[in-house]
């Protein structure tokens, strides 16, 4: 059986649900608002967790490699193990924030991911202690075992990120389904002021916002996990997603609050003789968003 098939079995394993409940309770204690946005990576416009994991993984891998090289690298290797331990904490917290707004099948794999990485961190902690007491052989062995555990954790995290698109921009593929050129969406006055309207371009759903005399058109798919935004609401000049509450500014589609980190895909707009038209954004043209 291939690794991917084995990991998909974890998605169906409800024995992980009690642990998921405990992790959910932990995640709920993370502060809401700007701190949580930072943990998601909203200000970066990119998920923070995959960036944060580089430091512990890189440090630990470097320590394990140093252990294999000729010469005396004991102090450097132990320092790298300790840097990895310190860096693993913020990496875990940012991962917990992302995990808390994922689907059940992703969360089950996320539990296994956390167990593997937690085991890896414990092994590296034991490695650091063994090195401190001069037990270099144990220090190397424990670090090697820790690397195996975090390697497995990385495979599980990769499954969530790539196979299940946790953290990917779920709206991106739709851009390629919108044909070039202007598309008629209907009479402008038929789209409600101060609310979300819906339309389609060749079968591609779009959401229309009219606020304060300006109009905007976005792909009707939340970049976070693909929710239909027209099921959400327009609040304080932002489109709020119905699933996990991400908010996107109606003026441009940028993220006001996560968990989404990617902006809404915004289309150029034009109003001709009272009819709203939209097209794919043109690289060198001013984006038309107005009546």
Residues within the interface to ligand FES (CB under 6 A): 101, 222, 224-225, 227, 241, 243-244, 246, 259-260
Which of residues 210 and 224 has its CB atom nearest to ligand FES in the complex? 224
CA 36, CA 77: separation in Å to the nearest integer?
33
CA 140, CA 71: separation in Å to the nearest integer?
14
Minimum Å gap between C-beta 270 and ligand FES is 28
Which of residues 175 and 271 has its CB atom nearest to ligand FES in the complex? 175
Minimum Å gap between C-beta 110 and ligand FES is 15
Q: Strand, helix or coil at 98? A: helix
Minimum Å gap between C-beta 133 and ligand FES is 47
Minimum Å gap between C-beta 281 and ligand FES is 21
Q: What angle do CA 133, 137, 142 make, to 5 degrees?
A: 90
Minimum Å gap between C-beta 247 and ligand FES is 9
CA 278, CA 266: separation in Å to the nearest integer?
10
Strand duo 247-249 + 196-201: pairing: unpaired
Which of residues 225 and 267 has its CB atom nearest to ligand FES in the complex? 225
Which of residues 150 and 260 has its CB atom nearest to ligand FES in the complex? 260
- C-alpha distances (whole Å) from 176 to each of 139, 180, 203, 224, 264 are 52, 9, 12, 18, 15
CB 147 within 8 A of CB 66: no
Which of residues 147 and 229 has its CB atom nearest to ligand FES in the complex? 229
Question: What are 234's strand-pairing partners?
Answer: 239
């Amino acid at each position: 059986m291939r690794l991917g098939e084995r990991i998909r079995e974890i998605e169906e394993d409800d024995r992980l649900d009690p642990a998921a409940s405990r992790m959910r309770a932990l995640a709920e204690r993370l502060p809401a608002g700007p701190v949580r946005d930072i943990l998601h990576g909203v200000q970066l416009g990119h998920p923070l967790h995959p960036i944060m994991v580089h430091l512990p993984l890189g440090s630990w891998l470097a320590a394990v490699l140093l252990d294999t090289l000729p010469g005396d690298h004991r102090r450097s290797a132990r320092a790298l193990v300790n840097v990895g331990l310190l860096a693993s904490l913020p990496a875990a917290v940012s991962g917990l924030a992302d995990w808390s707004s994922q689907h059940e099948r992703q969360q089950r794999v996320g539990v296994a991911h956390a167990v593997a990485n937690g085991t890896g961190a414990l092994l590296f902690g034991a490695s650091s202690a063994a090195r401190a007491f001069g037990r270099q052989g144990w220090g190397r062995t424990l670090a090697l075992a820790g690397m195996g555990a975090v390697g497995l954790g990385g495979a599980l995290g990769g499954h969530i990120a790539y196979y299940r698109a946790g953290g990917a921009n779920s709206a991106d593929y739709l851009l390629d389904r919108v044909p070039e050129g202007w598309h008629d969406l209907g009479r402008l006055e038929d789209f409600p002021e101060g609310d979300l309207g819906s339309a389609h371009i060749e079968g591609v759903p779009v959401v229309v916002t009219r606020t304060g005399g300006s109009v905007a058109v976005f792909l009707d798919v939340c970049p976070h996990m693909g929710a239909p935004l027209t099921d959400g609401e327009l609040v304080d000049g932002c489109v709020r997603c119905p699933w996990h509450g991400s908010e996107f500014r109606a003026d441009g589609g940028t993220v006001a609050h996560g968990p989404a980190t990617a902006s809404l895909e915004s289309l150029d707009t034009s109003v001709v003789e009272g009819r709203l038209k939209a097209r794919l954004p043109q690289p060198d043209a001013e984006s038309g968003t107005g009546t």
